[in-house]
Structure 1
């Protein structure tokens, strides 16, 4: 079943949305998602201030120019490995989007200690600092590679997912609540294969495909931002939210990028899967569908902080799991071409 491209631009948040007029901090705020979220916040949420927390001064400088030094933005150089710096940055913050992470699969296979320090210990720092600072809600970004992980990156992100979900136990007698959103590959994100393929095609080179059978999930940046905004509005704490998004064959994506290029099978890289998964069979036992099938929610197993099952949720089918090769909606090469041409 092929899904045609529809209007994927962000909708303005309702006047009652909790982020409206708030003080928001974004870790990893100079990344692709961070910049897209900041743009949405400035355009639609009338924030009191948005704090950009990241460790690279050059990227902060470039992002300041991108937003023309908007006076609602604040700039904190800092690493999530540094809990003291997080405490300072979180003063009087209402809501946190946690997007900071080390993300390259092959890099993680060769630098495991660094990935653990940032993705695991850094996540613990964010949880503890947010509780101490009295932050109201935190949404952490995850990845499909955290479901049934086979690589170091995925294992660190699964651990981070658990840290945020179970962090609600530590925050039970406080106001702070944590939730996680998990999604697949993002079009237009930094590190995407798409610009590399375009450059190779312009030089007349063959495009390397990591196994012609590979399938992946695909989400646009506006969809990812909207998902986080929606999660802040509906979360009680402890939810792991997954979008119902299309799959695609990696071969079709390559053909959408460069229709005339020759494709070469170069094999899977270290730690890479043939097909990705966003909800494992075990997680599927706790999954429900909300908003007419727009999102799945994996509800918490041990909600000792007072979580109540979602009233409008529908249970998934027995034995459900969400994998890119078993999906019920797909993008073909023409759909992917339209997504790329839309620039989102």
Structure 2
């Protein structure tokens, strides 16, 4: 019997009459009784052979270790974790799984060891990261077939884990779509490749932040629509240039304020119309010049007041007229001054002097 020892005696070779330990025993037997007809009278008796492998009893011997079991091919498993959790992992992104053939699994964090997850790109604090979530079906493979080194190499859809879009209706779509942790909603980057409907779709369930450390160029071949339901803030460190090929319409529901730290230049090739429903106020800290190439008309519905702190000069090239009702004052470039009115009252608290070549008072 393997493992037992004995002392051999009576062997012709004295050097073999020592203490021995049995390592293995092989038994072999054959019986040809049932084959007598086929043997055609050949004398074949029942045989038995025993072969034993021995080592000297004083020799230290250990049996060779058994080969470690190997696992060939992929296995399917389900990601599991503690009750109430949707994502359960450690600091290396490993997860726990439960195999369908594991009858003792409770589908919790004790169902397996931590299992590594293969990612699309992995580096030192950079790369791709997508942690399998509880309930997802995953593909398990083993490094060199070692059952102690499982690794998740893929994820699959199944009957209770369907693709994000109905297939084959949307077979031309490629998407990266997430699910809000412990809530409703999703983030998504989607590509549509159907001819005539090509689209890149981006959906942010809450915030979207873009960081460009150098230049950004955006080209739109046709139309562009932008809608902001609340506030928008734009801050530009240096210059801004805006070029509109045809028309521009700006509609502001309430107030608008424009502050310019230095100068403003506005050039309009044709006409400009300004309509103000209520008040209009212009405040100029220094000088103000208005130049009109042709005519200028000003109409005031009720009152107009002009207050000048020092001098007020009006110069007309040909004629200056002031008309109020039936009264008028006309001054011409040749020096003629015409004053017309139904009544003329002149009062002075001091002297009155009238000088002229001819003075005709009728």
Shorter-chain TM-score: what band? under 0.3
Output the TM-score relative to the length of structure 2: 0.19
Bigger RCO (CA 8 Å, 6+ sep): 1
Task: Looking at secondary structure, tell me which structure has more helix per residue.
Answer: 1
